Amino acid sequence: MDAEAANRGTEDTHKSDACERERKRRRTDAHPQSLRWKSPTEQQSYSSKLLEALHHVRRTSTSSSAANATPRSRAVREAADRVLAIAAKGRTRWSRAILSKCRTLKLRKKRVAVAFGHGRHRKPGFSAPAEAKNPPTLERKMKTLGRLVPGCQKLSFPSILEEASDYIAALQMQVRAMSALTEILSSLGSSSPSSNPNS
């Protein structure tokens, strides 16, 4: 009897340990965005890739003609977002949406002819239902949040919250990286030797 009780106690201990490990794993999987985008290694990797992308933007804008050149601010924004999406490694919907948009923009730039479509107009006398005009507050906020996060307009509310949390954490890392690069470039500019007027 003592041996059986000891065996049952050992089995219960193993089950308890397994349940505890499973709970820890679920907590880690449920909030990957709380750990992602905050490590110094990931920050340094993103900063170096961002710097390479900005150098490429500078070379491209210098060599491109004025008619085909993308505005510098827009090109920098697109490059920063593209590097951020690549850093996400396709694990999120917002990163895949950004990369898909970048590929679409490249295809559009290769086209010579530009087609202008006609906008769709509602038929006279048509009025949207009252429910469509005045959606509930939560639904309205969910749609707004879905529009702000790339590729998340048609997701469920829990999925939008998960994507938004990860996207915000990624943007915070992007801001830190760009602020650090700005400080470095500013310090290099201020420390450069000024020309001597008497020379």
Banded model confidence at residue 13, pLDDT cuts 50, 70, 90? low
pTM above 0.75, yes or no: no
Q: Exposed, middle or buried, 96 (CB in 10 Å: 0-12/13-18/19+)?
A: middle
Give the rounded percent of residues in the chain with a pLDDT score beyond 70: 58
Banded model confidence at residue 136, pLDDT cuts 50, 70, 90? confident
CA-to-CA distance for 77 and 95, rounded, in angstroms?
A: 15
CB-CB contact of 160 with 146 (8 Å): yes
Query: 197: number of CA atoms within 13 Å, CB side?
Result: 0
CB-CB contact of 49 with 86 (8 Å): yes
Residue 137 has a pLDDT of 87
Q: What angle do CA 166, 168, 173 make, to 5 degrees?
A: 95
In one-letter notation, the amino acid at residue 152 is: C
Q: What is the pLDDT of residues 37-66, one digit of tens each?
A: 988 999 999 999 999 999 998 888 777 655
CA-to-CA distance for 55 and 61, rounded, in angstroms?
A: 10
**Residue closest to 41 by CA, chosen among 199, 195, 173, 198:** 173
Residue 11 has a pLDDT of 64
